[in-house]
Chains A and B, each alone.
Chain A
């Protein structure tokens, strides 16, 4: 639990304090240091426009985390709501919600994201929205299955007999039991969203006014041989961040098991 939390803290700190930490403006290049290798002045080297990679990387964490966290929160909200309605009510409500969820699940995520951004123009808000809309069905499925199973549980019956109205039972008795698997999914969603955002950036569909890890990789493709640092460091940053969120998910699941306490 400690290690992933520590890593998350470090990431958040980087993102929040980016202007203080980064050496200079990430988007300001200097013509005299194009594709400069690692040096004391540029600890991670510079890119083809002479921009400092460390500064880009630190500022890029803002985009990645913002997209990851915001889209995960949105998909979590939609997914839990849809899943709770489907699982608790059952019947036609269940069928309706699940058909809609299936529709979104059958859409090829990345292609759809590409099309939407290409048509509507780039922008971090659109990226977040697209990812959230594509990710919620998975959460909804898990929540629905868990709630449908718990709907007949004796302690839920007991709460009904105790006078608790249905919505309160869902909110206070049932949903907390689902918190473990849902949090795992949410953490995985963050990781997936970060990857998706990087992918969009890689195809040049990120927000051109923001430094992002995906965009950095996009520019690095031409220099894979000549300037390895341009691809390696953003790649490592993406990989490490995804791992951190996966680990967080597992840790959250373990700590939410009441028997473990």
Chain B
């Protein structure tokens, strides 16, 4: 067995909050000691709600943001800054494309810089990628981003990521801004590309439906910490952490006969010491004042809870 292609160890990242003019500034810990490993060709989901730190984590993994502590290794070598083999697909398809450049030029960019191709070759390669992601280049290559639909722009975004010939793709909520019927098309494209190129993919999402549809493994993030990690089917069908259970139960289903159970209390501003989920947890007990450590439930199933 070979080692992971991308490995993060004990990543920490905080942000300084705008604080009072005098006195100590508050630091918000967006990511508090996360370790993750992604095997070649594997599809891993990173799930969490807003404020869980999943986007910050994704940005560190592609080198767009520097961790305060911890290391990221690609094929065993420590990464610092953006690298050609680790690419990203963005959520906001409009913001991710230069509004003044044709979408063709945006896809050519990595060919010209990351791969140092001459212009003519870069254009030919970019056109081929357009065709691969389902956009006929003769129609779309010379268009500006605003003349494309959201789904079409996301195809361009995927083509641009592929242009660097990556081994790892980090996709940050790649379908959450898309229409339901288009969403599935894009997810299928991801699945096909993964199979065809052996791409390891990290899906950052809040949507458990997306998790189940396209990933094999899932890591659940709560307030900057992994609270549960395991095979997707197992975690979805038998969630063990109270937070995963709450998330799973709160996911709406298109069936009027099945009602959602009452949700857990909403997140509270107060951060109690100990388990990060303590303030909302229905099973919270005095023991939760000591922070639980991530431990193995099974060889491939990790959990951070005293009671699971």
> Which residues in A have some Cβ–Cβ distance to B below 8 Å?
153-155, 157-165, 168, 173, 176-177, 258-259, 261
Contact = CB atoms under 8 A, between A and B. Distances in A.
Nearest to A155: B98
A150 to B, nearest CB: 10
B144 A163 contact: no
Contact of B113 (A153, A162, A176, A177): A162
Given A153-B95, A163-B110, A258-B144, A158 B100 contact: no
Nearest to B146: A259
Interface of A: prevailing SS: helix
A153 B146 CA distance: 16
Given A155-B96, A158-B90, A163-B113, 10 more contacts: A154-B95, A155-B95, A158-B96, A158-B97, A158-B109, A161-B62, A161-B164, A163-B115, A164-B109, A261-B144
Contact of A163 (B59, B84, B99): B84
Contacts, number: 67
Given A163-B113, A258-B146, A157 B90 contact: yes
A173 B146 CA distance: 17
Q: Which 9 A-B pairs have the closest CB atoms?
A: A163-B114, A163-B113, A162-B110, A154-B96, A154-B95, A162-B109, A155-B98, A154-B90, A164-B113
A36 B114 CA distance: 73
Interface of B: 59, 62-64, 82, 84, 87-88, 90, 92, 95-100, 106, 109-110, 113-115, 144, 146, 157, 160-161, 163-164
Given A258-B146, A259-B146, A161 B100 contact: no
A92 B144 CA distance: 37
Contacts of A173: 98
A259 B115 CA distance: 31
B109 A159 contact: yes
A259 B98 CA distance: 12
A168 B160 CA distance: 18
B99 A258 contact: yes
A177 B95 CA distance: 13
